[in-house]
Amino acid sequence: MPQASSALFELERVGYTYEAINTPAFDALTDINLTIQPGEFVAITGASGSGKSTLMHLLGLMAEPSRGTLKVVTQNVSKLDANAQADLRNKTIGFLFQQFFLLPQLTVLENILLPTEYSRQANSRSEWLSRAELLLEKFDLVEQGHKKPSRLSGGQRQRVALCRALIMNPDVLMCDEPTGALDSATAQEVLKTLVELNAEGRTIVVITHDPEVARCAKRVIRISDGRITSDEEIRPIKFGEKEAQLANSSTGNKASATTPRIHSSAKIMSVAYAQIKHSAAQMFVPTFESLATQRLRTVLTMTGLLLGVASIFIMLTLTGQVSRVFSEFFETQGARKAFVSFDGRQAEKTGAPQWRGMHVLHDLPKLNEQLIKLGRIDPLVSAEDCKILSSSNNFQGGLNGMNSLQEAQENNLQVSNGRLPMPHEFEESSGARIALLGSDAAVKLFSTSSGKKNSKEQTPVGQSITVRGCNFEGILTVVGVLKPQDSLMDRGINSNIYVPSNTLLTGGVSPYNRRVVTVPNRGISPTWFAQYVIGKLKIMTDNRFPFRFFAAEQELEKFNLMLSILTGLTLVIGALCTLIGGIGVMNIMLVNVHERIQEVGIRKAVGARDANIRSQFLLESTGLCLLSGALGTFVGIAVSAIALKIAQNFLPQAASLSFHLDIVALIVALIVSLGAGLIFGTWPARRAAALDIVDALKQE
């Protein structure tokens, strides 16, 4: 008869039916009415297959009744959701299984603390630890605390399982054939302990087919074919006086399991040590355990993701560097400039007349006035195919007009000897008869075969050169020699001789110009500006002539486009590697889940919620992917640094390439590996979380 509402278990007309897809439904329990009060020691016995374990699954909240009502500590189980059931199991019920069900990868202490991982109680970790230490002491396991269960005897393992069952101070200890795997002497020990625990006030439910075990209980319930056939109070057998004393002295103070005591400092130290070890272990031991035991499999799996992350990292780093260096290089080449010229070929095709050109002194300033705030245009005044003579040598070459000091700076002209022209030397009235020699031009004109390079007479600065045989005639004084330059567009740039444009004009060069350089102000697109200038030129010339332009910027854009395509392709390859790697991770995690089904069952039995299991496996897959990603990043850093070093050594243009840790690449690598871990870990984690406790525990 159900009496007070303080009962631990109340079953009313409870039935349970096993239903599976391909087998007929089987009624394992029928019409069970049962009440268990706090403090009882109940043995549930019956033949094999009578339904004992099924009943224990119901009492232990591992399965829900198919019919009837089951109340555990007054709560109707069928009205609780999965989380509430897990929490109730964690707090109320301690399990002791025939097979012990310890987690082999955890130490004894960690095994004992397992239920506390899932506790909703406010105890601090050190409180749990001191409680675990008391239990270790009570069950004579102090020496074994940091050992793995595989190094313990059967009796010791069962005592560890008992400690784990007691750590949460549960209302009831539920034992399924607790002595089934032990020899008779050890079995006696365990039974004695159960009797003592009951004497301390703990409720005990033992499921057994062994009459020896049943005789220790105060109440024996017999079931047969899923029905209760008898339920009787018995007078339990007493263990001998001597044995009881022995048990007392070995287990110490009866209250010790629940009452914390003052610890010696050595003990506190060991607690602190265990605490550090414990929290790290709980999170990562399982992953590293499987990493260690399945090393080759894991390494192979990680390789795909590692290569994916590495290739993504390398590509982002290298293209970032190359594009930066090229932009800088183009900048020194006057990437912002464009050349606008009369399109002679187009004129021929369309029958347009030839353009005489723009008068440098009249038309150009007018046009420049219209362009103010947008940029400026400079004429390209030059004398071609002149005979140029120094006191000792001569060569055939041209003179390039310079329009301003600003232009000289924009073109990155730097002297190695002498000076640049003064601003006034560019002026129209001045037309100063001076020249700047490119480094090669200086050598051609002034080096002597005698090798007296360093003597004062040989420096070109201050000497004069004579120009004739072209539309410019005259004598020029060398004021400076230029440092050698790199140029993409003009290979002979170091043979140039620069003369102020006005000097060329006053010396006979035609002031009509069919080709100009356009230089936009900062923030204005060079291509747009060149087109704008063409528009203006067309208006100026009544739309009679065709013009075209060449912008270095467009070359840079083409180059960057190619670089982007290359990057894109490599990123696709990287993404494929990541995908394959991720599928590998998913595979290894599925295998991992499969191999650890029993572990999932154990964790759930001690009170893990589905979410705990999910996040555990998700954490493991994410950890695995982050580890692969970190290794991939290291590989990426090494390969990028080496590649850049090699490029530096073989390409002079790449001199300014250097390895910088690319933050974007780093972030992408992090996101990719984190994402792979989460995406490819989710399914295995869900599968693990969805496992049924009873089925999972049965798994070998």
Query: For Mg ion, which is the closer residue by CB, 25 or 47?
Result: 47
Give yes or no for residue 54 binding Mg ion (CB under 5 A): no
3-state DSSP call for residue 634? helix
Query: For Mg ion, which is the closer residue by CB, 45 or 301?
Result: 45
To the nearest whole angstrom, how small is the minimum distance from the Cβ of residue 220 to ligand ADP?
15
- For residue 492, the partner it binds in ligand ADP, Mg ion, none, with Cβ less than 5 to 8 A by kind, is none
DSSP state at residue 598: H
Per the DSSP assignment, residues forming a β-bridge with 359 are 512
To the nearest whole angstrom, how small is the minimum distance from the Cβ of residue 171 to Mg ion?
23
How far apart (Å, rounded) are the C-alpha atoms in residues 194 and 20? 36
Give yes or no for residue 179 binding Mg ion (CB under 5 A): no
Tell me the site size for Mg ion, rule CB under 5 A: 1
- For residue 50, the partner it binds in ligand ADP, Mg ion, none, with Cβ less than 5 to 8 A by kind, is ligand ADP
- Site residues (vs ligand ADP, CB under 6 A): 18, 20, 26, 28, 46, 48-54
Query: For ligand ADP, which is the closer residue by CB, 65 or 320?
Result: 65
Query: For Mg ion, which is the closer residue by CB, 27 or 196?
Result: 27
Asked if 270 and 278 touch (Cβ cutoff 8 Å), the reply is no
To the nearest whole angstrom, how small is the minimum distance from the Cβ of residue 26 to ligand ADP?
5
Asked if 515 and 341 touch (Cβ cutoff 8 Å), the reply is yes
- For residue 150, the partner it binds in ligand ADP, Mg ion, none, with Cβ less than 5 to 8 A by kind, is none
Query: For ligand ADP, which is the closer residue by CB, 15 or 46?
Result: 46
Strands 497-500 and 394-402: parallel
- 8, two tokens: 């631990």
To the nearest whole angstrom, how small is the minimum distance from the Cβ of residue 177 to Mg ion?
7
- 383 HSE (CA, 13 A, CB side): 27
Residues 6+ apart with CB under 8 A from 6: 37, 38, 74
Query: For Mg ion, which is the closer residue by CB, 57 or 614?
Result: 57
Query: For Mg ion, which is the closer residue by CB, 53 or 502?
Result: 53
Residue 151 CB-density burial (10 A; 0-12 exposed, 13-18 middle, 19+ buried): exposed
- For residue 26, the partner it binds in Mg ion, ligand ADP, none, with Cβ less than 5 to 8 A by kind, is ligand ADP
Give yes or no for residue 628 binding Mg ion (CB under 5 A): no
- For residue 90, the partner it binds in ligand ADP, Mg ion, none, with Cβ less than 5 to 8 A by kind, is none
Contact region with Mg ion (CB under 5 A), list: 52-60, 83-91, 179-187, 562-570? 52-60
To the nearest whole angstrom, how small is the minimum distance from the Cβ of residue 53 to Mg ion?
3
Q: Nearest 5°: phi and psi at 395?
A: -155, 165
Give yes or no for residue 621 binding Mg ion (CB under 5 A): no
To the nearest whole angstrom, how small is the minimum distance from the Cβ of residue 54 to ligand ADP?
3
Q: What's the count of helices (H) and strands (E) in the chain, helices before strands?
A: 21, 23
CA distances from 290 to 287, 296, 596 (A): 5, 11, 10
To the nearest whole angstrom, how small is the minimum distance from the Cβ of residue 26 to Mg ion?
15
Given 50, 53, 144, 496, the residue binding Mg ion (CB under 5 A): 53
Taking alpha carbons only, the member of 474, 441, 465 closest to residue 389 is 465
Tell me the chain's radius of gyration from C-alpha atoms: 45
**Residue type at position 176:** D
To the nearest whole angstrom, how small is the minimum distance from the Cβ of residue 101 to ligand ADP?
16
Taking alpha carbons only, the member of 360, 523, 498 closest to residue 434 is 498
How far apart (Å, rounded) are the C-alpha atoms in residues 321 and 647? 11
Q: What does the binding site for Mg ion look like in residue numbers (CB under 5 A)?
A: 53
